[in-house]
Amino acid sequence: MTADDPSVLRPPVLREGDTVLLVSPSGPTRPERVARGIELLTGWGLRPQVAPNAYARRGYLAGDDALRAADLNAAFADPKVRGVICTRGGYGAQRVVDLIDMAAVRRDPKVVAGFSDITALQFALWRGARLAGVHGPGAAWVDERTPLLSAESLHTALMTTAPVTVEAVPGEETYPVRVPGRAVGRLLGGNLCLITATLGTPDMPDLTGAVLLVEEVQEPPYKVDRMLTHLRRAGVLDGLAGVAVGQFTDCADGWDTTVVDVLTDRLGDLGVPVLGGLPIGHGPGQLTVPVGTGATLDATAGTLTVTPAVR
């Protein structure tokens, strides 16, 4: 698996002067939350534009399904738009993925960045176009959670063709989750809830030979156990090359069993390398990684190195 893998559609790297469209495929957001993201992207020389329906709201959704899908399809069809950056996650991407014009995606591939609920969108784009994506912070930027290091990491993934290396951090809660060894495979995955919710749909990727990325937020240990057990019983973890464990933020309840206990129990006997402590997810200092491209997980050395999503 190389950077020139013909089975993967890798969009062009973003360059100064490129237009990027800010879209809200999932939950609603507010202009004051996105203002900082616009400032950041502008400082990189990009030209961020807010999609027409990015601030729409319908309860817990960023407007009707048709509006959210329209913004995505407009971005994929417009030759002037070179990148698509989601404002936030939340919920709702699964409701619109079947409305995406995959022919437009394949005709003019663009880098798509986001995380959390955007895992559903990344999976759909992988299924429909084999489009590599970027798992990283959205445009509704919060400096307290995503400081300078987070910004530099996103910039590297979007605007350079350098491989991305993330090191396990001792201060991360999942750092003790580790099975030594080295694995090479395509990095796929993201938010654990969305991975589990994709089971049984056309968008569930074949994880055979893959390095699976998992992260989560505000799910108690027993629910993490339930999701991982579901994946195990469905057989989708049987052929994994390895597991990259990101941040499991605010995943605690009143029981003695911790989320680290659950992750160790449910992932530790798969017979593959497992590396926890990666600052990827919903926690402070979130870093960015490509998804859909080749990765080397060195659980002994504590590193995850990923081929760029852009070319």
Q: Which residues are part of the catalytic machinery?
A: 116, 215, 282
Q: How many CB atoms lie within 10 A of CB 59?
A: 9
Q: Quick check: 190 and 213 in contact, CB under 8 A?
A: yes
Q: What is the longest distance spanned by two Cα atoms in the chain?
A: 54
Q: How many CB atoms lie within 10 A of CB 42?
A: 11
| E strand intervals along 75-227 | 81-86, 111-114, 133-135, 164-167, 178-179, 182-191, 211-217
By CB atoms closer than 10 A (0-12, 13-18, 19+), residue 271 is: exposed
Residue length of the chain: 311
What's the rounded Cα separation, in Å, for the pair 194 and 231?
Answer: 12
- In 3D space, the residue among 123, 102, 132, 106 whose CA is nearest the CA of residue 3 turns out to be 132
Q: How many CB atoms lie within 10 A of CB 233?
A: 9
HSE on the CB side for 234, CA within 13 Å? 19
b/e map 175-185, b = 16+ CB within 10 Å: bebbbebebbb
- In 3D space, the residue among 190, 197, 34 whose CA is nearest the CA of residue 116 turns out to be 190
* CA-atom Rg of the chain in angstroms: 18
